[in-house]
Each structure stands twice: as C-alpha cells, then as structure tokens.
Amino acid sequence: MYKNDFDKWNEIKKRVHSQKIFHHPFPKEGEVWMSILGRNVGFEQNGGGNNFSRPILVIKKFNNQMFWIAPLSTKQKNLDFYYNFIDSDHRKVSVILAQLRLISVKRFKRKMYELSASKFENIKQILKSFIA
C-alpha cells in the first residue's frame, strides 16, 4: 500500500460524493452489487482496480439512501465470519461477515446477481449470532 493509493482514492471519493444520481439504483436485500469501497485502513476490505470497486452483498436496506453491506471476496476461508458459497457464474465466493458496514447508495454501480432466499437467510442467522 502506498500513500498515492490514498491520494487517488480521495480524488475518486470526492467525485462519488458530489455526483448527482439521475438514474437512481434501487438495491434490495440479498442482492450482490458492484460498488466503490475505496482504499481503507488497516485490515478493512478495500476495493480494487482503478476505481477501488468490489462486489458487496446488501444485508439491510434502511431507506433508498443507506444500506448495511458486507464485502465479498474470491478467497474462501474456513472461519466463522466467512460465508462461503458458489455464485451464479460458478465461482467460489465468500461474504466477509465481520466487515459489515453502512454505505451510501452513491457507492452502488451495478447489480450482479441475487442470492437464493435460503443462502441469504443463513447469512442473516449467522450475523444475528454475532450480536446475541
């Protein structure tokens, strides 16, 4: 990680924040979207590529502007806070449940697919067990 990663992310973040949304996306719970997560601190999951993008799972929709999400990874691990599954394109994917966070709809770029109701329910039950 280099200082210029943060500088580059800061420029992108300013553009994302100031953008006017003309074709407002309407993410729903249980959907996987490509989003702009950015360059984060420490062990927080970063976005990748030129625009710091990463697939995320919508966990909870609070309103049309704010969402709880969890980032996805192509690395599967046998840890309590990873939910491993095969996606709709037959790729191994994990939801990193420990990195649940609140994001703005401005970070959403495009819908990728929707999880089955049973997988999404499993994920919600695991998240509930973390809190209880």
Strand (E) positions, the chain? 31-36, 53-61, 66-73, 82-86, 92-96, 101-104, 108-114
Q: How many CB atoms lie within 10 A of CB 124?
A: 14
Q: Which tens digits make up the pLDDT trace of 48-104?
A: 556 668 899 999 999 988 999 999 999 999 999 999 999 988 999 999 999 899 988
Task: Rounding to the nearest 10 degrees, give the CA dihedral for residues 95, 110, 27, 92.
Answer: -20
Overall number of domains in the chain:
1
pTM, full prediction: 0.78
Q: Which tens digits make up the pLDDT trace of 1-27?
A: 455 565 555 555 556 556 666 566 689
Helices then strands, counting H and E runs in the chain, come out as 2, 7
Residue-range definition of the domain harbouring residue 80: 3-131
Tell me, what CATH number does 69's domain have?
2.30.30.110
